[in-house]
Amino acid sequence: MALEPEAATAAGVEDENDEAAYYGDGPANPPTSTTEPYLIDPSLPLSSVQITSLVLLKIIKHCQDYTDADIATGVLLGMDLEDKSKREVNLEVTNCFGLPKVSSESAEVDNYTYSMMKLFREVNVDNNNVGFFQSGNLSTSGNDVDLVKSLYSHQKDLNNNVVSIIYDPVRSRQGTLAIKAFRLSPEYMKVLDRGRTFRDHVLPQSAAAAHFAATAKNVLQEIPIKIKDLSLSRALAWELQSQNLGACDRLELSINPYMRKGLEVLSATVEDTKADLLELSKHGRILMTKKQDRFKWIQERKHENARLKKEGKRPLPDKDRSLAIFKPTVFRDMNGQDGRLKTHLSSNRVSATCNQINKFSGDTFNKLYLASGFHTK
């Protein structure tokens, strides 16, 4: 879709000074920016994700090649740039490639990823892994335990300035670009780093991490996306605009396909949340039973110690850590992971899905009102 220069500026689309600046040959008029791509301060906040229009088209093309039931995934390449004047970091995504759909697990995917990054390095193209992208519903994929695990692995192994870009092909077919970038919040990463790592758990386990996941709203942090247009991309957009290739999909008034898909997602999300809440209530009853048994045991031990004291004997300890009633009980899901994180994300999915349907319905009503005005005239 072509954008006017004023509209491009309003939409957050940035223009390069010259095409040579992107390919590393140096701009004709060097900017007086203090941005340096080296010696990044890890304490600086990540302010935005800058993505070129070519990379955005690659992501859209790869995700649209899959059906709505399948999840398309890929790797993001680029670099993080420090802006010392603003004391912040901008993540620049300069390239990407999609991962093939394979039946096996990570072995073939890892080999394919390594081979692609090796080829990019041989032709002197950015091959720094700065995250991954995937297709899916923004309300559900952005609040998923698997996404949290993948982001933790990337941010722990690579660096903290790693993001996951989620593209919603169903929502985008209605004329609005639905794409968001997420990463684990720095506060949650600090809590996870203080936890203990077990072999059968991807996320470190600790009481502080479980409490943070159950109470905090910033487990996932959304990073603003800025689309950068190069000179050749702007020239192509003007050429397409002169051919009257307008965005006719914005005039689509039918809401049935998206609403049907959205209600299906909402129904499944509500069922998952209901199951998680049932497990949580069962865990609460178990804790209540243990608390009552522990109180009863302590009272019996107090009476016994009082009898021993009268007989002049040595009293027994007030607590016996070997008993099950004194051992901590952690809420786990069926996979053995922290159940409070899953329950928290499930409730967030319901809220995000309702907000997304509400926003889409409001935009559609505006279209219908506008169309009725043309019809009466």
Mean pLDDT of the chain: 75
Question: DSSP H helical segments within the chain, as ranges?
Answer: 5-10, 19-23, 53-64, 106-122, 138-141, 145-157, 169-172, 186-193, 207-215, 231-242, 256-310, 339-376
State the Cα–Cα distance between residues 121 and 128, nearest whole angstrom. Answer: 9
Query: Is the pLDDT score of 125 beyond 60?
Result: yes
- State the pLDDT at residue 247: 53
Contacting residues for 352 by C-beta, under 8 A, at least 6 apart: 138, 139, 140, 142, 143
Query: Is the pLDDT score of 34 beyond 50?
Result: no
- State the pLDDT at residue 209: 75
* Domain residue spans of the chain: 5-184+219-252, 271-376
Residue 39: how many other CB atoms lie within 10 Å: 6
Q: What is the mean pLDDT of residues 110-138?
A: 86
Residue 132 — very low, low, confident or very high, per pLDDT cuts 50/70/90?
A: very high
Query: Is the pLDDT score of 35 beyond 70?
Result: no
* CATH value of 5-184+219-252 in 3.40.140.10, 3.40.250.10, 3.30.70.260, 3.40.50.150: 3.40.140.10
Q: What is the mean pLDDT of residues 129-157?
A: 81
- State the pLDDT at residue 314: 86
pLDDT above 90 covers a percentage of the chain that reads 6
Q: Is the separation of the CB atoms in 42 and 88 below 8 Å?
A: no
- State the pLDDT at residue 211: 73
Residue range 310-356, pLDDT digits in tens: 888 888 888 877 777 777 776 766 666 667 777 777 777 787 778 77
